[in-house]
Structure 1
Amino acid sequence: MFDWQDLYFFTVLARTQSLSGAARELQVEHATVGRRIDALEKTLGLRLVDRLPRSRPLTDEGRALARLTGTMENIAKDVNQLSRMASIEVEGTVRVSAPPSMAIYCIAPRIAVLREAHPKLNVVLLPSLSVAALDKGEADIALRTVRPDESALVRRKIGVVKFALYGTAEFSTRPPQQWSFIGYDQNRDHLPQQQWLHQLRRHRPIVFSSSDLTSQQMAARFGVGAVVLPTTVGDNDTLLQRLPVDSEPPIRDIWMAVYPDLRRSPSVKTVMEFLVECIQQEPHLRN
C-alpha cells in the first residue's frame, strides 16, 4: 500500500509543475519532495515524472495519476476545515425569540439534547408574540410567523404553524349555537388565527380574552369555551379535542431570521441548526 503523504506530495508537484514550486507550497526542502516522489514510484512500480535538469514534467502514467487524484487536495482542505471547526468549542449565550407555543411545546423540551452536546452553550429563550428587534440586540435569532422584511437579515422558511378549534369532550356535546369562545384581546385582532376565530363564532360571544395562549388553553380545559390553538398544542392536550368547523383554518409560515455577521459565530450557527431540527422533528410544524 502506498503512503498517502507521498501521494499528496505528488498532487502538489503535478499542479505546480516544479520541485521548487512544490517545495515552497509544502514548506519543505526540494530533496524532500524528490524523496517522496521516488518512494511513490517505487511503491507503484511506475515512472511518474521525467527527471530533466530544470523541471519534472509528468510522464503519461503521471498525468493519468494526476487526473485520478485531482480532488485529493480539496478533500484534504475539507478534512482540515472540519478538524478546525470541531476544535472550536461552542460556548457563550445565544438569545432566541420565538412564538410562545413554539418556545414552550417544541424548543424547550429539546434543550436537554443541545445541552448534552454543548454543555457550555447557554440558550436564552424569549417567548413572545411581538417581533423582536434584532437590530437592537433584543435577540440573536428570531423565529417568526411573519416573513421578515428587513433586507439586511438572512431569512429561511423552516416550517408551518397549523391551527384548529378545540374544546372539552363535555363542551363538544353542546349545540353549536350555544358555544362560547375564548380568544386574544382586541390588540391581537390582526392575527390570522384571531380573524378565523371571529369568522367561526359569527354572532356568538367571546367570554374570555387573554394575551397569553396558555391562559386561553387552561380556560378551555375547564369548559369556559372553544379556543383556537396551534395543532402542536391542542392535539397534544388530552383534555381537549378538535371541534368541527365549516371553514379551513389558517396556516402560518415559520421564518428563521439572523444577521449575517452573527450567523458566522459557531455558537449561533449551532443554535440555528438546533432550531431547524426542533421544527423538523415536530410533525405538526413540518412543511
Structure 2
Amino acid sequence: MEWDDLRHFSAFVAAGSLSGAARTLGIEHATVARRIAALEARLKLRLIDRRGRRLVLTGEGEKVAALAARMAETMRAVERLADGARSDLAGEVTISAPPAYAAHVLAPRLVPLRARHPGLTLRLLGELHAASLDRREADIAVRLSRPEAGELTAARIGTIAFHLHAAPAYLAATPREEWTFIGSAGVMAGSAQQAGLAKFVDSHGSGESGFSLQSDSVDIQAALAAAGGGVAILPDFLTASRPDLVRVPDQGPPITREVWLAIHTDMKNAAPVRVVMEALRGV
C-alpha cells in the first residue's frame, strides 16, 4: 500500500468532496479519484459509496479514515520536526491572512523581504477562513483575534481601526436620514466591524432595510461606497490613500480589531519562518 494513496483518501475525508481534496492538494479532482480507487483495489475494500449523487464513506471507509487521520497527523508532526530544525534561509513559507490585509498591508512588505533572501519562496494566501497550522495549510497565520486552540505560538502585532466611509459626493447629496449602508456577507457577516455597523444603523433608524448592498469582500465594499452606493465600515489601512472615500462625520469612536501572528509551536525555531515573522512584526 502506498502512503500517497492514503494521503489522497485522507484529504477527501477532510474536505468532504473530490473537488475540495483537489484544491487542498493542488491537483486535479480526477487524480484524487484515481488514487482512492487504487487504494480500494489494494485493500480489496470499498471505502466510498458512489451510488448516490453525493459520495459518502462506507463503514470500512470510516474505519480506514480514522486510521489515516492518525497517520497523517504523525506524518505532519515529522515534517514539522524536520522543518523546525532548518537553519538555512531557503525553501517555501506560506502566509495566510485576510484578503484585504494581505493585499494592502502584507504584500508590499514581502517583496523587499524576498529580495533580501533570494532563497525563500513566499506564498501569500488571502483567506477569510482560519487556515489550519496543524495540517500545514499555512506556516504563518495572520488573524484578527487571538488564537485559542491548538499547539500555537502567537504574538499580537497591532490593531486595525475601522471607520464609516462614503464617497464625498454621496455625503454632500444625501441627507443623513436617507443614508443607506453597505454590509458584510458570508463569513464577514459575523465580524466585530459588521456588529458595530449594525449598531450604528439601528441608532440611525434604518433597520435591516438600511443595508442596500452587501459583500464578503472589503475591497468590493470600498468600491461600492466609492461609487456612491452608501456608507460602509472600512479599515483605515484601505482608505488612507483614497480621495474617493472620506470618513463620515460624528460617528463616534472607531471599531478596533487586534492583529495576531500565529505559528505552530514546532515551527518557532525554523529559520525561514523566523525571518518572515520578524518582517511581519514590523508591519
| TM-score in same-fold range (> 0.5) | yes
Question: Which runs of 5 or more residues in structure 2 are unaligned?
Answer: 1-86
Answer whether contact 2:128 2:187 (CA < 8 A) is retained: no
The answer for the alignment partner of 2:139 in structure 1 is 140
Distance in 2 between the 1:158 and 1:146 partners?
Answer: 11
When the two chains are superposed, the root-mean-square deviation of aligned CA atoms in Å is 1.7
Residues of 2 paired with 1:236 and 1:229: CA distance?
A: 13
Higher relative CO (Cα under 8 Å, sequence separation at least 6) belongs to 2
Instruction: Find 1:215's aligned residue among 220, 226, 229.
Output: 220
Q: Does 224-233 or 194-203 show the bigger shift?
A: 194-203
2:241 to 236, 239, 255: 236
- Give the corresponding residue for 1:260: 265
Partner of 1:192: 192
Structure 1: which 4+ aligned runs deviate by more than 4 Å? Answer: none
TM superposition shift of 1:101: 2.2
Are the structure 2 counterparts of residues 105 and 196 from structure 1 closer, same or farther at C-alpha, using a change threshold of 3 Å?
same
CA displacement 1:233-263 (0-9 Å, x = unmatched): 1122121111124432221111111112212
User: In 2, are the aligned partners of 1:235 and 1:241 still within 8 Å (CA)?
Assistant: no
TM-superposed CA distance for 1:187, in Å, is 4.7
Q: Does the CA-based 8 Å contact 2:95-2:122 persist in structure 1?
A: yes
Aligned length: 192
Measure, in 1, the Cα distance between the counterparts of 2:95 and 2:159.
18
Over 3 Å counting, the alpha-carbon distance change for 1:98 and 1:186 in structure 2 is closer
Which residue does the alignment assign to 1:149? Answer: 148
**Paired residues for 1:1-287 under 5 Å:** 89-173=88-172, 174-185=174-185, 187-202=187-202, 203-204=205-206, 205-277=210-282, 279=283
Kindly name which structure, 1 or 2, has the bigger radius of gyration based on alpha carbons. Answer: 1
What is the deviation of 1:201?
1.6
SS at match of 1:106: helix
Verify the 8 A CA contact 1:193 1:249 in the aligned structure 2. Answer: no
Compared with structure 1, are the counterparts of its residues 220 and 163 closer, same or farther at alpha carbon in structure 2 (3 Å cutoff)?
Answer: same
* Secondary structure class of the residue paired with 2:125: strand
CA contact (8 A) 1:160 1:252 kept: yes
Shift of residue 171, structure 1, vs aligned partner: 1.1
Secondary structure class of the residue paired with 1:134: coil
Contact kept? 1:132, 1:142, Cα under 8 Å: yes
Q: Distance in 2 between matches of 1:127 and 1:263?
A: 22
SS, match of residue 159 in structure 1 = strand
Describe the SS at the equivalent of 2:103: helix
C-alpha displacement at 1:142, in angstroms? 0.5
TM-score, normalised via structure 1 length: 0.64
Q: CA deviation at 1:98?
A: 0.9
In the alignment, the residues of structure 2 paired with residue 243 and residue 265 of structure 1 have an alpha-carbon distance, to the nearest angstrom, of: 45
Whether the aligned pair in 2 keeps the contact of 1:168 and 1:220 (CA below 8 Å) is: yes
In 2, the alpha carbon distance for the partners of 1:248 and 1:189 equals 21
Q: How far is 1:151 from its partner?
A: 4.9
Unaligned runs of 5+ in 1: 1-87, 280-287
What code does the residue aligned with 2:158 have? G
